């Protein structure tokens, strides 16, 4: 396969997602709403697993990082300090391909400065969704939906520092919704106006920032590999000087080979001390750090790995999608890491025969406290195996008429399609042994 062509078309993924209950168009019965999507029963599990894997790696397994959950609506001055109110209210043109935006006075002609693609018409544009707080719709009551989760971390820097008493370097992590009134959306859940971010702000001593920036670029790249994303589908891209925000000292993107081509999955930026300094200035509250060792006050620098939950969900679906031929028939299988798989185990009685049902229900009840489990008794067993393959379920437990005699069930493995007989009383421990290690990330 040539290096830069995805293994699957976007339409194939979109239709699988709708057919199997991963992702539906939002407000579907009203004809949908542009660029808005709803996660269905399987999509919500996949999304939860992505966030859980991130939280485990970034918070649970680290002594130097804690989490927060800040509100989406924040004091309007937050967005003045961060530059979002002013920075996005100029007439902007946007590159139709790479989505970089410029003020009209920054570009010559109608082509993108970086990739040469056409630009949109200029529009007076603020990226933030504006609304009003309270019953009166006037300027004094204007608030914004946050366009990034990061600012909720910066404004809580002092609260967190005084309560957790950590020394630098330390980080604050957050997962939550963000909203951007993007000029161009599209490519399914890749670019939407409501999306979810997983962001870390890692505070370091000035002078050590480059070392930590390189550390986080490597660490984050490896995280995708650990989750089973194929190495040849991932690429690091260092930002050119002219792409950097004026305060940023460096930025690297982790790009993924999506069906529409290489595009950003995560950005890692060295933001210097810009954010804390700006909030100190606008709030009048000191946001310095006192370093006991060197006996000095300074404003920490911050390294920010910032990734999108929805883009990760899309990358996983694309990356794990495979079509195989099995006994002359096409088999679609999502070879998804069991840790991320929406359903870990499917319990499948061979038929709805009244003798099989009570035993099958009993086995389902035994398994479901341990793993996300699905009970499925509709259609032929072959079709049910195909359905589970298509949604990435790693293991199926089948109860047949022999089970009533020999007290054993069949366990079938998704990728190899191998089947083994296991005593019913050992089913849970067997599943734990098979899945246990795969459900841990370091
Ligand atoms: P892009 O240029 O692709 O729109 P960005 O550089 O504006 O992304 P950041 O501000 O760095 O994005 O946000 C960090 C992460 O949040 C991105 O890497 C992406 O995973 C996610 N993200 C940003 N905007 C969107 C969006 N409109 N829809 C879905 N995810 C998004």
Q: What is the CATH number of the domain that holds 182?
A: 3.30.930.10
The DSSP 8-state label assigned to residue 147 in this structure reads: S
103: in domain = no
| CB distance 311 to ligand 1 below 6 Å | yes
Rg (CA), the chain: 25
349/308 same-domain check: no
177/246 same-domain check: yes
- How many Cβ atoms sit within 10 Å of the Cβ of residue 359? 16
The strand order across the sheet containing 395-399 reads 373-375, 345-349, 395-399, 408-413, 419-423
Q: Which of 259, 283, 317 is the last residue of a domain?
A: 317
Kindly compute the dihedral angle of the four CA atoms of residues 97, 101, 106, 108, in this order, to the nearest 10 degrees.
20
104: in domain = no
Q: Which residues of the chain have pLDDT under 50?
A: 1-2
Instruction: Give the rounded distance of the alpha carbon of 243 from its chain centre.
Output: 24
| CB distance 191 to ligand 1 below 6 Å | yes
Residue 112's contacts (CB-CB under 8 Å, 6 or more residues apart) are 95, 96, 97, 98, 100, 118, 119
Q: Measure 191 CA to ligand 1 centroid, in angstroms.
A: 7
270/310 same-domain check: yes
**Domain membership of residue 227 as a residue range:** 10-75+147-317
302/212 same-domain check: yes
101: in domain = no
| CB distance 196 to ligand 1 below 6 Å | no
Structural domains counted in the chain: 2
Map residue 298 onto helix, strand or coil: strand
| CB distance 264 to ligand 1 below 6 Å | yes
Which of 127, 234, 238, 267 most suits a substitution to test ligand 1, by most atoms within 8 Å of the C-beta?
267
Give me the pLDDT at residue 1, please.
44
| CB distance 84 to ligand 1 below 6 Å | no
131: in domain = no
Which of 195, 234, 263 most suits a substitution to test ligand 1, by most atoms within 8 Å of the C-beta?
195
Question: Which residue lies with its CA nearest to atom 12 of ligand 1?
Answer: 267
The pair of structure tokens assigned to 335 is 């070879």
For residue 365, what is the domain's CATH number? 3.40.50.800
Instruction: Give the rounded distance of the alpha carbon of 51 from its chain centre.
Output: 6
The pair of structure tokens assigned to 281 is 């200035």
278/226 same-domain check: yes
- CA distances to 10, 271, 375, 414, 435 from 428, rounded to whole Å, are 37, 48, 15, 18, 10
Q: Measure 119 CA to ligand 1 centroid, in angstroms.
A: 19
- Residue 339 burial (10 A CB sphere; 0-12, 13-18, 19+): buried
67/167 same-domain check: yes
286/374 same-domain check: no
Q: Measure 95 CA to ligand 1 centroid, in angstroms.
A: 15
Give me the pLDDT at residue 3, please.
61
Q: Which of 281, 299, 317 is the last residue of a domain?
A: 317
| CB distance 178 to ligand 1 below 6 Å | no
Question: Which residue lies with its CA nearest to atom 23 of ligand 1?
Answer: 308
- CA distances to 164, 179, 269, 330, 332 from 320, rounded to whole Å, are 40, 28, 29, 16, 10
264/198 same-domain check: yes
Give me the pLDDT at residue 90, please.
63
List phi, psi (to 5°) of 375.
Answer: -100, 120
225: in domain = yes
| CB distance 310 to ligand 1 below 6 Å | yes
CA neighbor of 200 nearest in space, from 266, 288, 281: 266
Are the C-beta atoms of 221 and 267 separated by less than 8 Å?
no
For 307-318, give one letter per residue: b (16+ CB within 10 A) or e. Answer: bbbbbbbbbbbb
- How many Cβ atoms sit within 10 Å of the Cβ of residue 367? 21
| CB distance 101 to ligand 1 below 6 Å | no
Q: Which of 317, 351, 375 is the last residue of a domain?
A: 317
| CB distance 192 to ligand 1 below 6 Å | yes
390/426 same-domain check: yes
CA neighbor of 261 nearest in space, from 6, 2, 1: 6
Are the C-beta atoms of 344 and 372 separated by less than 8 Å?
yes
DSSP string, 329-370: EEEEEE---TTT-S-SEEEEESS--TTHHHHHHHHHHHHTTT
Q: Measure 320 CA to ligand 1 centroid, in angstroms.
A: 22
| CB distance 197 to ligand 1 below 6 Å | yes
Q: Measure 308 CA to ligand 1 centroid, in angstroms.
A: 6
170/49 same-domain check: yes
Residue 352's contacts (CB-CB under 8 Å, 6 or more residues apart) are 377
Give me the pLDDT at residue 5, please.
85
Strands (E), 217-338: 234-238, 250-258, 261-270, 289-291, 296-298, 301-308, 321-326, 329-334
d(CA 393, CA 399): 17
Question: Which residue lies with its CA nearest to atom 22 of ligand 1?
Answer: 308
133: in domain = no
With tokens 């990330």, the residue in question is 441
- How many Cβ atoms sit within 10 Å of the Cβ of residue 169? 20
| CB distance 267 to ligand 1 below 6 Å | yes
CA neighbor of 355 nearest in space, from 408, 284, 403: 403
302/418 same-domain check: no
Instruction: Give the rounded distance of the alpha carbon of 218 from its chain centre.
Output: 18
268: in domain = yes
| CB distance 307 to ligand 1 below 6 Å | yes
Which of 308, 309, 310 most suits a substitution to test ligand 1, by most atoms within 8 Å of the C-beta?
308
Q: Report the DSSP pairing between strands 345-349 and 395-399.
A: parallel
Number of the ligand 1 atom closest to the C-alpha atom of 190: 29
Number of the ligand 1 atom closest to the C-alpha atom of 253: 18
2: in domain = no
222/180 same-domain check: yes
Per DSSP, helices labelled H in 67-148 are 76-81, 84-87
For 261-300, how does the pLDDT look when each residue is reduced to its tens digit (9 = 90+)? 999 999 999 999 999 999 999 999 999 999 999 999 999 9
CA neighbor of 90 nearest in space, from 57, 125, 139, 118: 125
Which of 82, 117, 305, 306 most suits a substitution to test ligand 1, by most atoms within 8 Å of the C-beta?
306
């Amino acid at each position: 396969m040539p290096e830069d062509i995805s293994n699957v078309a976007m339409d194939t993924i979109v239709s699988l997602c709708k057919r199997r209950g991963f992702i539906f168009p939002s407000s579907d019965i009203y004809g949908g709403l542009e660029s808005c999507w709803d996660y269905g029963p399987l999509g919500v599990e996949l999304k939860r697993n992505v966030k859980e894997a991130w939280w485990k790696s970034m918070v649970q397994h680290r002594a130097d990082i804690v989490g927060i959950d800040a509100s989406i609506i924040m004091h309007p001055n937050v967005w003045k300090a961060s530059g979002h109110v002013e920075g996005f209210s100029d007439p902007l043109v946007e590159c139709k391909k790479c989505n970089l935006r410029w003020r009209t006075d920054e570009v010559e002609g109608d082509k993108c400065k970086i990739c040469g693609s056409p630009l949109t018409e200029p529009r007076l544009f603020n990226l933030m969704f504006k609304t009003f707080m309270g019953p009166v719709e006037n300027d004094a009551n204007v608030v914004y939906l946050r366009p990034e989760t990061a600012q909720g971390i910066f404004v809580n820097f002092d609260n967190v520092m005084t309560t957790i008493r950590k020394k630098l370097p330390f980080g604050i992590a957050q997962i939550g919704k963000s909203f951007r009134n993007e000029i161009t959306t599209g490519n399914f859940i890749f670019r939407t106006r409501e999306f979810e971010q997983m962001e870390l702000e890692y505070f370091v001593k000035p002078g050590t920032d480059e070392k930590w920036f390189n550390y986080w670029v490597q660490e984050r790249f490896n995280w995708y590999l650990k989750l089973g994303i194929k190495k040849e589908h991932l690429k690091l891209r260092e930002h050119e000087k002219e792409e950097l925000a004026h305060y940023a000292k460096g930025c690297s993107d982790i790009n993924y080979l999506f069906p529409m081509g290489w595009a950003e999955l995560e950005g890692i930026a060295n933001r210097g001390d810009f954010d804390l300094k700006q909030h100190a200035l606008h709030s009048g509250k000191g946001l310095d750090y006192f370093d006991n060792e060197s006996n000095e006050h300074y404003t920490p620098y911050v390294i920010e790995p910032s990734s999108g939950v929805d883009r990760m969900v899309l990358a996983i679906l694309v990356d794990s999608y495979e079509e195989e031929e099995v006994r002359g028939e096409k088999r679609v299988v999502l070879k998804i890491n069991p840790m991320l798989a929406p359903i870990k185990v499917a319990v499948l009685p061979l038929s709805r025969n009244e003798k099989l049902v009570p035993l099958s229900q009993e086995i389902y009840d035994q398994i479901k406290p341990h793993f996300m489990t699905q009970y499925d008794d509709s259609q032929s067993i072959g079709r049910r195996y195909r359905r589970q393959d298509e949604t990435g379920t790693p293991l199926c437990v089948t109860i047949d008429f022999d089970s009533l005699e020999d007290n054993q069930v069949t366990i079938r493995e998704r990728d190899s399609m191998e089947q083994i007989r296991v005593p019913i009383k050992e089913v849970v421990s067997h599943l734990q042994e098979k899945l246990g290690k795969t459900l841990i990330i370091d």
